[in-house]
Structure 1
Amino acid sequence: METEGVRTDRLGVLLDQFDSVREKAQVRLTGLSDEEYRWEPVPGCWSIRRRGEATTPRAFGPGDWLLDQGAPDIPASEYAEVARQAADGMSVVKIADDWSVSVERVEQILGHVGPPEPDESPVTTIAWRLGHLHFCFAGGWEWAFGERRQEPKELVDFTPDAGLAVERFWAVMDRWRESIATVTEEQLDTIGFSQYPYGSDPDEPFIAVLWGANLEFIHHMAEIALLRDLWRARFTGRD
């Protein structure tokens, strides 16, 4: 359905949202230099690092460069999602397995009263944020439209070359966009259409997976845009 050129069907709304974000994001990534791409504005940043030089316990990647990843936990921003999963009938064991945490940790979160304390999340570089998005969408495509067998953490060869990273990223995003444009109404409602092994995708209708993917794209690209603004302003602040 269209209303004066604007799609109002469920898939159309999600596609239009994706396209709008992609258009803005492409502008914001133009001219990204290698130095800016790996800039660490504060000590302790997560980034991409040479194999053997990573400082985080679960850094991953198939090649010479790894994407930082720390010990598994459920961030405070996801407490409400965990509560929703439990209310919808998902077992504590399944929730713990999805988040790679202990059953005790899930029970602790479900028993939490009052607003959660803000997360002490690491600051991440543009290289990390772009690599994270690349990994998520490459894995999402493989486990929804591909052979559903490749380990997502082996799909992206992270690189210190900003131009190459951006080029590879847009290739993955364009493949994702092309595939989701073919999804039928029945597939949108199919639980487990995506079998992505990290998180709750196999337990959700595919339309919820697409909504979550757009959200991931939006919020990480907003963070990248802010980092680019800070990079430009790093030597222009007042004393």
Structure 2
Amino acid sequence: MRTDRLGILLDQFDKAREQAEVRLTGLGDEEYLWEPVAGCWSLRRRAEVRTPRAFGPGEWVMDLGAADIPASEYSQVAEEAASGLTVEEIAGLWSVTPARVEEVLAFTGVPEPDETPVTTIAWRLAHLHYQFAGAWEWTFGDHKQDPKLMVDFSPSAAVTLERFWPTVDRWRESVGQVTDEQLDTVGFSQYPYGSDPEEPFISALWGNNYELIHHMAEIALLRDLYRARG
């Protein structure tokens, strides 16, 4: 077992990936697209979208609602402002108006909990897929492709997993080669959706581990609920 900074993060990632692959064994199409409650976000044919910013390069697109700053991220916006980013720059990061950023920065007290939609297994896998594809492109690739247009989403669980794991493994292989200097380099990842360009790469790497762990835990729970439905 490695105890260096990169080694610890790689061990964490490898364990999470191993568990995730086991928990996804036997995933079928019906379960993959199962909507346990009304109003779920999922993958849908382009002609059947229900959300204003659904995206994807092909026939099947991924639900996405109107742009906003969730209450859980108010503190992040405050940190971005404290770091020297202008209101206009922050608005660009969150795809909202400067007025919305000013509203968030002026807020005092405890914000109401976010109301977020339940998302299907298909949605969560799609989210992870384009994030890992985009993270690789904007860290080790050409820094050109829009992450939201890099993955051709599929209604087939088998096809999705066949494409997903190589994407994840390519990221892991490249991360395994980074140096200590690169770990500490601010902007080593230029991933365009989020704060990666303003962070040392070790922070972005930690964030990608977190994404894999918490979304796979959610998928595992959905699988449990699907099996126990009745």
Superposed pair shares fold, TM > 0.5 = yes
Distance 1:214 1:91 in 2: 29
TM-score by structure 2 length?
A: 0.97
> What residue is the counterpart of 1:90 in the other structure?
85
- Which residue, 132, 143, 151 being the options, matches 2:127? 132
Distance 1:92 1:10 in 2: 34
Superposed CA RMSD: 1.0
Q: CA deviation at 1:85?
A: 1.6
AA of the residue aligned to 2:229: R
Q: CA deviation at 1:89?
A: 2.0
SS for the counterpart of 1:66 is strand
Distance 1:20 1:90 in 2: 36
> What residue is the counterpart of 1:49 in the other structure?
44
1:87-236 equivalent positions in 2, closer than 5 A: 87-235=82-230
TM-score by structure 1 length?
A: 0.94
AA of the residue aligned to 1:119: D
AA of the residue aligned to 2:29: D
Q: CA deviation at 1:7?
A: 1.7
Query: Runs of 5+ in structure 2 lacking a partner?
Result: none
AA of the residue aligned to 2:204: V
Query: Runs of 5+ in structure 1 lacking a partner?
Result: 1-5
SS for the counterpart of 1:169 is helix
1:13-24 equivalent positions in 2, closer than 5 A: 13-24=8-19
Distance 1:224 1:47 in 2: 13
> What residue is the counterpart of 1:61 in the other structure?
56
Question: Bigger shift: 106-115 or 225-234?
Answer: 106-115
Q: CA deviation at 1:140?
A: 0.6
1:32 and 2:27 correspond: yes
Deviations 1:12-45 (A, max 9, x none): 1111110111011111111000000000001111
AA of the residue aligned to 1:22: R
Distance 1:15 1:90 in 2: 31
**Moved beyond 4 Å, runs of 4+:** none
Q: CA deviation at 1:88?
A: 2.0
Distance 1:37 1:16 in 2: 28
> What residue is the counterpart of 1:3 in the other structure?
none
Identity of aligned residues (%): 69
